[in-house]
Chains A and B, each alone.
Chain A
């Protein structure tokens, strides 16, 4: 059996990436995700991989664009302000249909903000990862163990659909320590016949590019990409339902907010309130069906986020006005407490009964 170790979220992400076959990491340090780079810097030279600290986030993201073009499993990581800097390259990566993994361990914003945990980059991740019509896969782990699973899946699905996948964490998840097990799994990244890795006069040139001279051709390419997005929505949406079967009040929360919410739901159940939790594991595609299914059965939804309210818009869209959707959040690096969420559940239940 695989051995259990105690790891920080950031360390576990780095180890999981290496085990998923990532040998090309390009980064630039920023709190609270610097341990990812530190771990890569220590490990990569020992296993014949590349750890490169670039001169900036912009450079690091463009190195990922280059490495992904060559067909290798590659990754960059940062925290909120650094992700903004990477956005131009992310757009080129999407426009060139390249797979890679991007990690955002969110911190308080806007601007330089602060170093404490946040979930205020939800819109950026799910609505506008770049300029242009585009999406990337967005995974929201809620534990150190789940970070390991989702990093592995992110690499696999990025390759499968030829698009970037983001792991959207936060400062608390990146910094906290939990026991974690790595399964001994054989990784065989798929063949990438499109990669620009040397044709050796045995095949035609491959071209990786996001520029199209004719607008009708660009429209066709974008539309094809959106057909792929529909397929992904059907096949790759992930969600956890916790005690939702008979729930009157359903909390919707992801990542660290979901950990807090789960404790609040347990406390509410102990107090005799039928509370439940819907935890989106993929944020794009968003598990709208899971919300819709419950919309005519609940008194209310309560969306809990470390922001002023972003995912709550997706919950409202999914609920189709069949149930009230309320919001509770803290922002700027503050984390909602279990008691705060519990009190909101009690309020939406119409008291403690």
Chain B
């Protein structure tokens, strides 16, 4: 199964990709993750290489990631993910700029069959208006020449995220889903935040994916 993770930058694509890959590996499936972010040189999948290695997840990292190179380039191993006998996750760069990378592989991806997730966050300035989020989804589809198959609500305020933060994003996610015509697959919620929610509150969110933050901290 090939899963592509797209969305506005800074909305949690890498965090979601890592969680999906880790869950897949922990369930015993052969798993690969590819960092296809050609836009932002900072905070990327390559930061989590030790974790991926520990879990036996095959990581395909662009040449130059986490170095002083600003334009990374993609290794040929990406191609094998289009005929992969396990779960493969493609972590894509932000916005339609980042989705350009998919255009190059669009025919092969379409032939292989895929799910394309678009993450949405009501706390990022350029997607907090559902109309803007719906526009972003359309622009990602246009440049990638692929179809977004579902949305994941990743609304977060970083360290300040609490139950209220997540609950307040439920209506937003539904509205983006309505405007874009894309199904809302689930809401990604940090495990410690999830523990503070009552069953009734959880119900208002629909399906939930408990997640962990794997990004390294400087202090």
Helix, strand, loop or mixed for chain A's interface? mixed
Given known contacts A171-B42, A177-B10, is B68 in contact with A5 (CB within 8 Å)?
no
- Measuring CB to CB, which residues of chain B are less than 8 angstroms from any residue of chain A? 10, 41-43, 68, 70, 121, 123-126, 128, 156-160, 218-219
Name the contact of A11 in the complex, choosing from B125, B128, B158 (C-beta under 8 A): B125
| A88 CB → nearest B CB, Å | 26
Given known contacts A31-B70, A259-B218, A262-B219, is B160 in contact with A179 (CB within 8 Å)?
yes
Further pairs besides A6-B124, A7-B10, A11-B125: 4, Cβ < 8 Å: A116-B68, A177-B158, A179-B123, A260-B218
* Pairwise interchain contact A4-B43, C-beta atoms closer than 8 A: no
Q: Which residues of A contact B125 (CB under 8 A)?
A: 5, 7, 11, 15
Please measure, in the bound complex, the distance between the C-alpha atom of A176 and the C-alpha atom of B10, giving whole angstroms: 9
Tell yes or no: A22 within 8 A of B by CB: no
Please measure, in the bound complex, the distance between the C-alpha atom of A331 and the C-alpha atom of B35, giving whole angstroms: 27
- Measuring CB to CB, which residues of chain A are less than 8 angstroms from any residue of chain B? 4-8, 11, 15, 31-32, 42, 108, 113-116, 171-172, 175-179, 256, 259-260, 262-263, 333, 335, 338
* Pairwise interchain contact B10-A31, C-beta atoms closer than 8 A: no
By Cβ-Cβ distance, the 7 closest A-B pairs, closest first, are A114-B68, A179-B160, A179-B157, A263-B219, A260-B219, A6-B123, A175-B42
* Pairwise interchain contact B41-A115, C-beta atoms closer than 8 A: yes
Given known contacts A42-B126, A175-B43, A256-B218, is B68 in contact with A333 (CB within 8 Å)?
yes
* Pairwise interchain contact B41-A31, C-beta atoms closer than 8 A: yes
Q: Which residues of A contact B218 (CB under 8 A)?
A: 172, 176, 256, 259-260, 335
Q: Which residues of A contact B10 (CB under 8 A)?
A: 6-8, 177
| B187 CB → nearest A CB, Å | 16
Please measure, in the bound complex, the distance between the C-alpha atom of A177 and the C-alpha atom of B160, giving whole angstroms: 11
A-B contact pairs, 24 of them (CB 8 A): A4-B157, A5-B124, A5-B128, A6-B10, A6-B123, A6-B158, A7-B124, A8-B10, A15-B125, A42-B126, A108-B68, A113-B68, A115-B41, A177-B158, A178-B158, A178-B159, A179-B123, A179-B157, A179-B158, A179-B160, A260-B218, A260-B219, A262-B219, A333-B68
Q: Which residues of B contact A116 (CB under 8 A)?
A: 68
Q: Which residues of B contact A32 (CB under 8 A)?
A: 41-42
Q: Which residues of B contact A338 (CB under 8 A)?
A: 219
Please measure, in the bound complex, the distance between the C-alpha atom of A60 and the C-alpha atom of B144, giving whole angstroms: 34
* Pairwise interchain contact A6-B157, C-beta atoms closer than 8 A: yes
| B116 CB → nearest A CB, Å | 23
| B80 CB → nearest A CB, Å | 30
| A333 CB → nearest B CB, Å | 7
Q: Which residues of B contact A6 (CB under 8 A)?
A: 10, 121, 123-124, 156-158
Q: Which residues of B contact A31 (CB under 8 A)?
A: 41, 70
| B171 CB → nearest A CB, Å | 15
Please measure, in the bound complex, the distance between the C-alpha atom of A60 and the C-alpha atom of B70, giving whole angstroms: 22
